[in-house]
Structures are given as structure tokens and as C-alpha cells.
Structure 1
Amino acid sequence: MDLVRFPVVFDGEWVNVDGKYKFNGRECKGVMLPPSTTYTELLKTVARTINANLSDSKITMKFAWNSPEPLPPTEITGDEDVQFFMAENRVARTPLYVTSESRSDYRLGKDCVDVVPEPKYNQHDVGPREEMPATFDHVEPLSIVDVEGLSPNNLPNEIEVPPDEVPDTQHTQPNKSPPSVSSRSSRPAPYKDRLPRISLLASSKKIVVDPNAVRNIVRVKDDFVSHSGHNDGVYVKALFKDKEELQMKIGMLALQKNFEYRVTRSSKDILVLKCVAKDCKWRLRAAKLKGSDFFQVRKYYPVHNCSLDISQRNHRQASSKLISKFIQSKCDGVARSYKPGSIREDILKQFGVNISYDKAWRAREYALHSVKGSLEESFSLLSAYCEMLEKKNPGTITHIETDLENHFQSFFMALGSSIRGFRSSIRPVIAVDRALLKGKYQGIMFLAACKDGNDQTYPLAFGIGDSESDSSWDWFLTKLRDLMGEVDDLVFISDDNVSIRKGITNIFPHANHGACVHHIGQNLKAKFKDVNVHELFFKAASLYRQSEFNDFMAEIRKVDQRADQYLVEIGYENWARAYSDGRRYNIMTINTAECTNAIVKDARELPITKLVDHIRELLQVWFWERRNEAVNMNSQLTNWAEGELQQRHDKSLSYQVLESDLNEFIVKDGFVEDKVNLHERTCSCQEFQLEQLPCEHVLAVCRIHNISCYTLCSSFYSSEALVAAYAEPIYPVGAPEEWDVSEEVRNHIFLPPAKHRTCEHSTKKRKQLQREDKMVRKCGKCGSLGHNRQTCKAAEAVIPSSSSC
């Protein structure tokens, strides 16, 4: 069983700073306990940790809420509180704050009014006056009784008096009258701001008390009682920015402390709340400050004396807006993984309140809106965000396209750090892809990505459009050309999308375009059911020698001539490495772009400005982590390139090298001979010139003639190039209220797209391409298409029907 680790902070006190509660502790120790720990076990562990004796000390354990709303600390008083505290520590380290005080101080300390009524004897009492015992070792302490629970009408005539407060009869003169209780109730100052208490202990003797003697003590003003709610953030003269904030605060307290209230009066200037129980004393009255929207608490009685029978599991204050305040911290991430069912379970465990699925769903939507903002507001912030992004990250390119009515149409972004890193240190092979956006306004997200020298995804540019069309791809590729300029030996890789192919041909006429091998393989699966064809195709696509490629195509032709014809129609130069017009290196698929799309899959539901900032934050983390990794590399090449060379080196150990010329060599591997030219950096296997990494034949020559293989590697694979690719950091833009934008941009507010998703269900999956045909069922009995053998009707006609004689 995994142990739950958490720090225990003690030897301190709670303070309230600007409405936020903070524990100033001077000691801290770590504790590890199993998740099933009970309250008693936790209390004993804490006592051992802080070196306290449970019989002599009262230990209070509290923890603070991880919530954007300032909440009072929660005290752990039972097993349910312990289980909730353990669950919180599985997500994040939540300290346990511990205070300890002597039990004698707790009973008769400065927070209690030490009222000890002296015995009053009546002349009609029968029997001699008994002497009080000198010691009371056998006396057990009783619980403390609050004064507010007493009144002159219900004060008991007999009160058990603490032994240490009973007058010593051995030293008291019999003829001197004892001091009256009323004289002790007049002690001033120290107890003005605290709730008076009477501390009672068990005693073997009972004495008679005149109820009128303590009348002044049990009559407590509302002002005094109000301060007992100070730790909850609600007290007399407490200010709230508006009525809604006050109602939300009281509602949160009602859920936390499991009570319900009703609104007896509510207007623009007044709010009066009372407990749902008619006889309960809990009440609150607040009024609006004159000339301001602030509400101030005027009267507050925080003590409940209602029956437990009125509590219900369907809490009247548990509204969807209120519940959203408690779950905001769990909705702060990108994904909407916090499901309504989980919200219902958490609210039931935390507050003992049952809520419906609909209410949990609405609470999550409120929380998401509060944390991430609305979709419409996000479009209005996009222009200001782009200006701040360009200021914080020099060289960044952003562009927003709108229609004639200022409605959003398309967006383009490329960070300056990515642009400069691509130009200096990244192989010129770009994979382009797109993904569906999932929000209310949907749209398409375009992506252009490369691979660095360590075989990692290197995002270059992002775009957002209203739809996938020829014009949308032309716009995105045009912006991509503007930031790159002319690039030699440029190669694009994409799936077999007609719009992409047209756009690359028109906008990058000198670039080469290759098809994604994975997508062609999926088409083969759908069209031709033979597994052997699929395997032979992938083997043929990855070969470097044209002779070997032709051999595999001959095998495919033997298995299925239709598959061979299909691949011929696509064109060998579009997918086969051996016949490629451009240098694709080892990049044969658009997996580079699809991986990035998968990473931002959940973020595609975010409002547009949040989505763009999430992408920026993702790149910021990638650049920081990969820059540190590159700096710590000890070899001349990246870790991936070093591993590739090591594998090829191991294969070359058995090769035989024959000299043909000063720079030419013949490398024999059994009956296969390959010609290596170090001056031209070529090998007859074509792997050396296509990948710009030494093949096993070149490595065999280097080993025999003591030549450093690193001098024959492309600079794209060097660790220095990797450092240069991620050298420049990416900076955040800060909070919107801190943005320093021009007045023109601030006033230029973009409207949401004119079209948005209807109520009909829309798919969130990628649309199938033209050549990604759906798999057609083929019957195993009759051989027809469109059904299987279980639903075949033709087979029924073959079976002869039985006829009666």
C-alpha cells in the first residue's frame, strides 16, 4: 500500500491577513501514513511528532483549502475529515497545521470566563455543612458548556464545581460571607472581544446556585457573539464587494458546516438570513453601504441550536454556481476530465449532499467559464494577446483575418524562437496536418512541424481557419512561405489531401512533396484485405536501393495485382524512399504533426485565446527542457543520432573493405558489394546521401582507415545544432490586466465567427480522406459485399425446404 506523505507544521498560530488565513509555524516535520488512517491514529501520530501528551494537551489539527476563493482552514475532527485530508494529499502536498494547548488552560484560559458560583446556604437546610475534600485525584473532566446555551430561564440550580475552585474551608473564616457571583461577572476588558464560557468539572459535591446571580453573565450581546465567526471570514462589520459575493460566502459556509438557511428579506440594500429551523438563533443581517456597492454585515449570530432532524441530504444552498466555486481548482487544467459523476461523488463525500447529474454538469460549466472565460470574450482579447506575444517574444509573427463585418475568419502564429531555430538548425522537411476544433464555433487548426536532430517534434507554425478548403490551405501556406523565405531542398510531407497538394504546388513550386506512408498503408488495409500486401508495402517504402524496392514490388504484384496498380497510380516518387525526388532523411510519415495534434487534443475545446496561449506554454516547456537536455549531452552528436551510428557500427564489424582509389572503397558484405566515395559523400546503397548519416559501409571504411565518422555527419545531427535550435527561451504574456497594448489594438475587438455549431451532434474525429475508404464487409458464404455470413440471405435459399407428404 502506498503511503501518503504530508508535512506537519506546529509551534505557531493562525493569523488573518487581508481576509486570507495563514499559519505562522516555527517547526515542521514530515509524516507518512496509510490512506486508511483513522482520526485516533492520526492524533496519536501527531502527538508523537510534536512531543505532546494527549492526556495533558488538547491538539487541534487543521488544513487549508486549495481554492481561489479565500476560505477558512478546515479542522479535522473525525474519520471522514481524515479521509478527505488524505485524498487531498494524493493530488498535492497539503500541510497539516497543528496547535496544542494545555487542557487546564483550555478549561480556564483567557478565552473563558472563569465563573465559579459560591455555595449559597439556606437557613432551612437540614444537617451540618460538609467539609470539601482536600484532594480530587479521582475527578474526571467534563466537556465545556457554552454560555450561549444557557439563559436565566434554563440555568440549572445545581452546578458541579471544579475542585480547584472550591473554597478551602480550612483557611476560610466561617463568619465571613463568600464573594457573590455578580461581583465576578463584572470583571472588565480582557473578555470583551471573546465569547464567555463557564468551565465545569465533575465534582463529588453539588451546590445550589441562585439563577439570578448569573443573569448578567449569560446575557451576551450580538456584537460579542459575532466575533466567534471571525475565522469563517464572516463577522460584524465585514465587507463584501457586492451582495452576490456575500451570498456566495454564506452559501459556502452552509455547505461546509452542514446547515441550511432561508432568506427572510432581500432587496438592493438589505439582506436578512435566518436558519431554516424556526427556533434556531442563527441569523445574519447585512446592508449596502451608502454610495457604494459594498455590503457590510451589521448583525451576525453564528451559533446554531437547531435539531439534527432538519438536516437533509438535498441541501437547498447547494446550487450549481455555489458548487462551481469548490471545483474550480480541479477544472483549471486543459482537459474536461472532471466528469459530472465524479463531481457528484466528491460533493457527497465532502459535504454529505446529494446533487443531480444535471446540477453537477452545470456546476462544471460554471467553473470552466470562471476559470477559462467565455468563447465570445476570448475573440475580443485575441488582438491584444497577439500584440503582447510579439512584444515579449521578438520575431514572432501573428496575423488575424476577418470578414467585412469584423467577424473572425482565420489566425496564424509562428514564434520567433521557432523560426530562427528552424532556419539555423532544423532539417528542411516539414509535415503539415490539420485537426478539428471542438468548441462552439468549431473550425480547423492547421499545423506545420519538423523534426530536430534528436528525432523530436519541432513545431514551426500554427493556424486556425473556419473550414478546410483550397483557400484556407492557400492562406496558411502563404503565411508559412512569408516567414521562411527561400529554403533549399525543401520537402513537404502530408496525407493525400487534394487541397494541400494544390497549395504546395502553387505556393512552393520548387519544393518537393511526399505522401505519408502511414496513410497509404491504411488505404491498403481498407481496399485489399491481404495482410501480406500491407507488410510488403511498408518494407518496400523504407528501402534505399531501387533494386531491392523493385523486388518487393514484384512480390506485391504476385499477391494482388490491384494493390500494385493502386501504388503505381499514386506514383513511386511520392511515397518510396528509393525513388524520392527530394531528401526526406528518415521522415516518412506526418507522425510529427499528428503527435502535436494529439498533445493539444483536449485544448482544442478551449476558447481561442486560451488555446493559443496553451500552445505557447507547451512550446515554452519543450524549449526549456530540451535546451537543458542538449546542453548536458557529452557527445558530438545528439543521443538519437549517436544511437543510430552505434547500431550501424555493430553491423559493419564483419564487413571487408577493399581500396579502389584514394577516396573510393569497395565494401563487401558476403556476396553484396557497395561502393563508397568519401569525397562525394555517397554510397551505392543510397542511405548515406539520403539521410546525411554514415551508413554501415561508410563506418566500415572509417574503422579500417582510422577516419572520424563524426566529420561525415550532417551538422543537423550535432549536439551544438540542437542547443542552437532551442537556445532562445519563450516568454509568457502575463495576465490580461497587466497587458500594455496600444489604444488602437485595445479598441479593435474581433467578433466571433458568424457561423457556429448547431444543436446537432458533431463529430470530434478527423474526417476520412478521399483514399481512406471505409472497409466494406464481404460475406464468407456467398462472396457478396455489404453483409457478413451471419446475415446472409442467399444461403437460406440453398437449404431445401421440407415439404409435407
Structure 2
Amino acid sequence: MLEELDSEDEYIVTEEDDRDNVHEKTFEDYLDGSHILDKMYKNGKIWSQLPFGSIVLEECKRYIARCLLRDCTWRIHASVLRKKISWAIKKLEGEHATCGRLEENPMVSSAWLCRQLLQDLEANLDVPVDSLQRLCMERNKIHVKLRLLYKVKSLAREQLHGGFAESYPALPKYAEMIKSTNPGSYALVTWTDSLQFKACFISFAAQVKGFLDGCRPIIGIDGAHLSGYYKGVMLTVVAIDENNEIFVLAYGIVDTKSIDSWTYFFRNLRCLFAQYKSQKDDWTFISDRMRGVESALFKVFPRATRRICCQHLYSNCKAVGWSGAAFHKMFWIAENSYNEYVFEKAMSKIKDFDAATYDYLKNVEEQWSVHMFDRTVYCDHNTTNFVESFNAITKANRDIPVLTLLEDVRNWCMKRMGSRFDKAVYMEPNDITEHAKGVLVTRTDDFRFCHVTAAGGGEFEVRDGHVKFPVTLRNMTYGCRKWQGLGIPCKHGLRVIYNQRLDPRDFVSPFYKGVAYKLTYGDHMHPMADPTHWPSLDVPEITPPQGKRNAGRPPKQRRRAAHEAKKGKRHTNNKCSLCKELGHNAVTCKAKKASSKKTAHTTFSS
């Protein structure tokens, strides 16, 4: 504890005090330039001024500091002791009564601030810098500039997730660890002759087994750009399980979206299937019109069927100029048509609207209307929303090092499959999934307005309003074709099933039952140790790819086209919740006003 000493007093150093003394150093020996205060003085004189005041050193024997404001009387005076190592405060007078508090402290460095905010940034690395600025003011009573907080976030990201260049040399070892901890998994990392990273492909044994044994034969593919220091694209293969939820099959990282990259990805996917004795090549793929997908797909899977995302097809039409409420309604009627009659009727209206639009849609080679889909797939998905949902999950991690990104994806898949693995244990083989139950409940509410007439021989005629549909339970053929398209009885089939006192669960496709669910989640992904505990493996240490991002913060949001609505803004084509028409809402609905006038007129007449 420091005491106030008189300038004439002497300080006697005892042996006990001298034990902890280090070798003698002068004051200048400590001025190595590592601290901001080191530049304030030189040879015992004022070297520079700082915002909080001035400091005077006289021949390295006395230390005097005053407040910046002239009206403030605060002053401290210290002098060096006999051994010229310790300092003693001689006088401390005055108080900071009227000068206020200085909130801008130039001694605050990015390293010190990173240590103070590391726990907060570890909980949420995407916290805005404005929030960090307010946190520093409330917690430490200091005002920090935004550019310093950006640097702090960068330092924290490197401490938490490692450096971008450091993650690539560990990828070959990471692939070997996947194959050793999860036997039967497919993990491949490729590099150039100069040991530069080129691409990688990863699929765990539990994922490929579950897809081949229980999932429907439809595969969604998509790619998302990385936003870290090095350029790259993350390609994903996503399927749909029995509960209509996403099932991640494989993922990988390539340099760009090109024919070569997609060919590399599809070849590894086929090798993955061949590893489990599956030579099937007539899978159904759904994607948007990405560059190089079509050429690479039919090169590796010659008999594959390709669906196109209708949302992207509609966006292409709007980009050309074919838009409006009328075209929007006719396009989605044609797209959601389960039978050819409704499709042709909608297309004839589109032809009357614009012949060029009709010709464009007729010349689309991919499958885009539901009535075109293969009935054995039992899936009516005509958009890539289930793949985009997985991209949304990985969006927050695509700006971190590649090894941490792959680990986060593996951890997410492991937790998801683990919870469903435990759920499948208690599921009975003949139970149907929650999705199938929900569809049956919805269609059961609609079949009450249908009337059935038995024709004999297991054939029936169901009248829905003014339209009649033939139904045959023996071979499960139905006029509306919704049953064949999804694998769950439609309202016309349910009307016949309940009329015959049968159980509708017996007519649900096996893809929605507990047997298939148990096969899909019959295995789970096994955990892996931390990279610090990995054994030494004889694998090469590769270097990062050549492609680097330009200076500046990379964009994370997708660039929207000129015809697309801005994010967070209400779309120009409002949809009425009453008449389901576009261009107005329920408040300005003309049908509502006409109904209100008719009701009022009837009340007045009575």
C-alpha cells in the first residue's frame, strides 16, 4: 500500500524487500515501443500529448501528471526510490469534481477488447457492432470506434474457429478420421500436383444407408457460395424422409459452379451408391437451372429424370416480362395440376394470354408440372424449398474456416439423426408418420361434400360438385391422380374407403409407414474427437486454394434480381385471404362488398 511521503524523508530498503528485486534497469529500458504510452516521453521530456492530459518526466526521477482541463486541480507527484526500481507517490491532491469522465480511452487496444468480449462473441459471433459498442459503454464506460470493433470480431473469430489458412492442411486427416470413427463412410479430399486444395466430398454411412433403404428415390441438389477469406461453393445433396423432412445425404466443397465441379460431385455420388451395391441410375433429381448441372448429370446418370424448380421457372418468366396477376394464377394452376386435363386447360388460357409464353413453357425439357412426375416416386415436390432450407441452416457458418464449417454441418446432422434414431425405436411398423396423419386429417374434412356410387367389381364413381371421378380400390387408380402422385389417399378415395368401412392407413404408401422410417433411421452417426486429440497420420498437408476474396467485407445476402421484391418489403401482388385472388387484400375485396350488399338487401326486404 502506497503512503504519502515527504520529499525530505528517506526510504530504507531492507533485506526482506530486496529479495524480490530484479536486476537494475533504467526507466528507458521498459520503453520498448509496445505500449501507446511509450511514445509520450523521450529523454525526460514531454514527447507527445494525449487526450487525457500531459505527463512530465524529469531526468527519470520525478513523475508529474495533471488533468487536461485547466480548471481541474487534480495532480499527482511521484519520485523514484533509492534502488531506482520502485516509485513512491509523494503528493496526490485535488479531485475530478467538475471535469467529467473521459469516455474515449486511447489505451484500449483490439487485443484487450477481444479478451473482454470473447465470451459474448462466443455465444453469438454475428452480434452487430452497434450492440458491442453499447455493451462496452455500459460495462466498461468507454466509447469504442466501430472500426476497432470490426477488428475485434475478426480476432475473436480466429481465436474461436482458427485461421482460414490453417484449416486446409487438416482436411486429409479429417477425412481419415471420418472413415475410422464411422466405418463405411465416404470421405474424399482431392488436391492438385502442387498440393493445393481442389475439392472434397463427404457422406456418412448412416446417411447413405438410410437413403437407400427407406427414403423415396428423389434427390435435391443445390450450391451456396462461401463468404470467407477463400472462395468456394458448398454443394449439397438432400433427400426427403417419411415424415416429409429433409434428410442430408452428402455435401462437399468445390471451387466454383461449373461442369467439371458438378461432374466431380455426381461421380462421387455414384461411387457412393456403388459402394453399397446400388447400380440404380434412374434417380429423380430436382434443382434450378444452375450452370453445368444438366450436362454433368446426364453424363454420370444417363437415365436420370430431372425436375426443375417451378419458383425459378416462374422467376425466369418474370425476368422476360411475362408477369401480372392473371399470368401468376394460370401458371401455378398449370404447375400444380395432377391430371393432364387441368394442365391443358390452364395452358390454353396461357396461350390466349401470350402465345410466346405458351411456346416457352411447352419447350421446357425438364419436368415442371405435377402431372408429368413419375408415379412410383410418390413425391409431388416441384420446388427446391427443402434444399434451400438446408442452405439457410449453413448460411451462418459459411464465413468461417472450412474445417469448422464441415464440423458444424456434421454436428447438426449427427444431432438430427440421433433424435430420430431414438424416435424410430418406439415406432410400430404399421404406424404412419405425422405428415401422413396430417394429410389424412385435412382430406377427411374435405370428403364430406363428395358423394359415392358403387359400380360393382370394386369400382366406384365419386361426384365432387359437378365433376365425377372414377375410383378403383383394387389397383388404386383415381381420376384426380392426387393419390398416385403423393401416395396418400385423396378426398375421393377416402370417401370410398370410409363408405366401405375400411381403414385408410392400409392404403397409404409404405414410404410413410414405420417400417420405412425404421430403415431410414436404423443407424446413427458416431461422434468424433476434438482435432487436438487426433492421432498422427501419414497424410500430406495441403495448402489453401488460389482463389481469394478481394479486400472488404464479403456480402452474405443473395443478390436479388430487378423483378424480385426487396427483402423485408411486402410484395406488390397481395393475395386476398377471402377470395384467394391477387392484387388486393381482404379489406378492399369486391366479393366481400358484394356479399355484404346482398345480405343487407335481403335483411331489408324481410
- Is the pair's TM-score, using the shorter chain for normalization, greater than 0.5? yes
The CA distance in 2 between the partners of 1:712 and 1:584, in whole Å, is 13
CA spacing shift, 1:547–1:350, aligned 2, 3 Å: same
Change (3 A) 1:359 1:699: same
Distance in 2 separating the partners of 1:275 and 1:631: 77
Q: Of 379, 395, 402, which aligns to 2:184?
A: 395
Alignment of 1:294-305 (within 5 A): none
Residue aligned with 1:565, SS: helix
CA distance in 1: counterparts of 2:93 and 2:196, whole angstroms: 58
* Alignment equivalent of 1:323, drawn from 113, 125, 143: 113
Contact 2:211 2:249 survives alignment (8 Å): yes
**1:487-506 alignment, distance < 5 Å:** 487=280, 490-506=283-299
SS in 2 for 1:710: helix
Tell me which of 560, 564, 568 is aligned to 2:358. 564
Equivalent-residue separation in structure 2 for 1:757 and 1:715 (angstroms) = 49
- Secondary structure at the aligned position of 1:574 is classed as coil
Give the root-mean-square deviation of aligned CA atoms: 3.8
- Mapped to 1, the partners of 2:246 and 2:374 lie a distance apart of 24
1:411 paired with 2:200, answer yes
Q: 1:530 to 1:584 in 2, by over 3 A?
A: farther
Secondary structure at 1:337's aligned position in 2? coil
1:540 CA drift (Å):
1.3
Q: 1:530 aligns with which of 324, 332, 357?
A: 324
For 1:722, the equivalent position in structure 2 comes to 517
Distance 1:349 1:661 in 2: 81
Distance 1:299 1:650, change over 3 A: farther
CA deviations 1:89-116 (Å, max 9, x no partner) are xxxxxxxxxxxxxxxxxxxxxxxxxxxx
1:574 match: 367
Q: Is the 8 A contact 2:431 2:514 kept in 1?
A: yes
Relative to structure 1, the CA distance from residue 603 to residue 749 in structure 2 (aligned partners, 3 Å threshold; closer, same or farther) is: same
Deviation readout 1:664-716 (Å, 9 max, x if unpaired): 33333344332223332222222222212222222222212222222221221
CA distance in 1 between counterparts of 2:493 and 2:340 reads 19
Query: Percent same amino acid among aligned pairs?
Result: 25
| 3-state SS of paired residue (1:615) | helix
- Counterpart secondary structure, 2:247: strand
Alignment correspondent of 1:431: 220
* Mapping for residues 330-479 of structure 1, pairs under 5 Å: 330-332=120-122, 336-479=125-268
Q: What is the CA–CA distance in structure 1 between the aligned matches of 2:112 and 2:87, rounded to whole Å?
A: 21
Q: What CA distance in whole angstroms lies between the structure 2 residues aligned with 1:428 and 1:301?
A: 82
- Given residue 534 of structure 1, which amino acid in structure 2 is its aligned partner? H
Amino acid in structure 2 at the alignment position of 1:330? D
Cα pair distance change 1:299/1:709, threshold 3 Å? farther
1:40-119 correspondence to structure 2 within 5 Å:
none
Deviations 1:712-739 (A, max 9, x none): 2122111443344234333332221111
In structure 2, the CA distance between the partners of 1:322 and 1:306, relative to structure 1 (3 Å rule), is: farther
Length-normalised TM-score, structure 1 = 0.57
Hey, what's the Cα distance between the residues in 2 that align with 1:489 and 1:376? 40
Alpha carbons of structure 1 residues 275 and 641: separation in structure 2 relative to 1, 3 Å: farther
Contact 1:649/1:696 (8 A) holds in 2: yes
Q: Give the letter for the 1:759 counterpart.
A: A
- Matched to 1:718, the amino acid is K
Alignment of 1:630-669 (within 5 A): 636-669=431-464
Match of 1:594 among 385, 388, 395: 388
SS of the residue 1:645 aligns to:
helix
Does structure 2 conserve the Cα–Cα contact (< 8 Å) formed by 1:438 and 1:605?
Answer: yes
- Contact kept in structure 2, 1:630 and 1:638, CA below 8 Å: no
Task: Give the Å deviation of 1:459.
Answer: 1.3
Correspondence 1:509 to 2:302: yes
Q: Which amino acid aligns with 1:318?
A: V
Separation of aligned partners in 2, 1:638 and 1:650: 19
Q: Give the direction of change, closer, same or farther, for the CA distance of 1:347–1:558 in structure 2 (3 Å limit).
A: same
Distance 1:278 1:408, change over 3 A: farther
TM-score, normalised relative to structure 2: 0.74
Asked whether the equivalents of residues 492 and 514 of structure 1 are also in contact (C-alpha less than 8 Å), the reply is yes
Asked whether the equivalents of residues 525 and 534 of structure 1 are also in contact (C-alpha less than 8 Å), the reply is no
Alpha-carbon offset, residue 305 of structure 1: 7.3
State the partner residue of 1:545.
339
Q: Which letter maps to 1:322?
A: W
Partner of 2:491: 696
Q: Is the 8 A contact 1:331 1:371 kept in 2?
A: no
Whether 1:611 aligns to 2:400 is no
Larger RCO (CA under 8 A, 6+ residues apart): 2
Q: Does 1:673 align with 2:468?
A: yes
Report deviation, 1:741: 4.3
Of 528, 538, 541, the residue aligned with 1:749 is: 541
Change (3 A) 1:151 1:471: closer
How has the CA–CA distance of structure 1 residues 153 and 627 changed in structure 2, closer, same or farther, with 3 Å as cutoff?
same
Q: Is the 8 A contact 1:577 1:584 kept in 2?
A: no
Q: For residues 238 and 102 of structure 2, what CA distance do their matches in structure 1 show?
A: 57
Structure 1's 301 and 279: CA in aligned 2 closer, same or farther, altered over 3 A? closer
Output the amino acid matched with 2:318. Answer: K
* Pairwise CA distance, 1:338: 2.3
Correspondence for 2:508: 713
Deviation at 1:546, TM superposition (A): 0.6
Q: Which digits, 9 at most, give the CA deviation of each residue in 1:223-278, with x for residues without a partner?
A: 9999xxxxxxxxxxxxxxxx9xxx99xxxxxxxxxx99x9x9xxxxxxxxx99896
Secondary structure in 1 matching 2:372: coil
CA offset digits 1:75-130 (Å, max 9, x no partner): xxxxxxxxxxxxxxxxxxxxxxxxxxxxxxxxxxxxxxxxxxxxxxxxxxxxxxxx
CA distance in 2, matches of 1:347, 1:575: 54
* 3-state SS, counterpart of residue 472 of structure 1: helix
Whether contact under 8 Å (2:231, 2:547) holds in the other structure is no
Matches of residues 8-407 of structure 1 in structure 2 within 5 Å? 148=1, 279=77, 309=96, 312-332=102-122, 336-407=125-196
Look up the equivalent residue of 2:108 and give its one-letter code.
Answer: A
**Rg (Cα) greater in structure:** 1
Maintained 8 Å contact 2:216/2:378:
no
Once the two structures are superposed, residues 194-226 of structure 1 have per-residue CA deviations (whole angstroms, 9 ceiling, x without a partner) of: xxxxxxxxxxxxxxxxxxxxx99xx99769999
Q: Match of 2:188, SS?
A: strand
> Secondary structure at the residue paired with 1:433?
strand
Deviations 1:360-383 (A, max 9, x none): 221221111111110000101112
Residue 740 of structure 1 deviates from its aligned partner by 2.3
1:580-636 Cα distance to aligned partner (Å, 9 max, x none) = 356461211111111111111121101000000010111122223444555677882
How far apart are 1:773 and its partner, in Å? 8.2
Q: Is the 8 A contact 1:418 1:460 kept in 2?
A: yes
Structure 1 CA distance for aligned equivalents of residues 529 and 79 of structure 2: 48
Letter in 2 for 1:599: I
Deviation at 1:652, TM superposition (A): 2.1
2:491 maps to amino acid: E
**Per-residue CA shift, 1:135-167, capped at 9, x if unaligned?**
xxxxxxxxxxxxx4657979xxxxxxxxxxxxx
